[in-house]
Homo-oligomer: A and B are copies of this chain.
Amino acid sequence: MLYHRRSLLDELTAKGIRLTNQRRLLVEIIQNAEVHLDAATLLELAQQTDPGIDRATIYRTIELLKKHGLIDELDLMHLKGETLLRSQDSPRSRPSGVFRMRPDRRIFQRLFERLKAEISAQTGFEVKVARLELGGRCRYCGAAAKQ
Q: Please classify the interface of chain A as helix (H, G, I), strand (E, B), loop, or mixed, using the class held by over half of its residues.
A: mixed
A105 within 8 A of B: yes
B contact residues around A133 at 8 Å (CB) = 130-133
Contact B135 A130 (CB under 8 A): yes
Contact of A111 among B105, B107, B118 (CB under 8 A): B118
B contact residues around A114 at 8 Å (CB) = 111
Which B-chain residue is minimally distant from A105 (CB atoms)? Answer: B122
A145 within 8 A of B: yes
The interface bits of chain A over 112-129 (1 if a CB of B lies within 8 angstroms of the residue's CB, else 0) are 101110110011111111
Which B-chain residue is minimally distant from A90 (CB atoms)? Answer: B73
Contact B129 A136 (CB under 8 A): yes
Q: Complex formed: what's the CA distance from A122 to B129 in Å?
A: 25
Identical copies of this chain, number: 2
The interface bits of chain A over 64-89 (1 if a CB of B lies within 8 angstroms of the residue's CB, else 0) are 00000000010000000000010010
Residues of A within 8 A of B (CB): 73, 85, 88, 90-91, 101, 105, 107-108, 111-112, 114-116, 118-119, 122-139, 145, 147
24 contacts between A and B (CB under 8 A): A73-B90, A73-B91, A88-B128, A88-B129, A101-B119, A107-B118, A108-B115, A108-B119, A108-B122, A111-B111, A111-B114, A111-B118, A123-B138, A125-B136, A125-B138, A125-B139, A126-B138, A127-B134, A128-B136, A128-B147, A129-B134, A129-B135, A129-B136, A131-B133
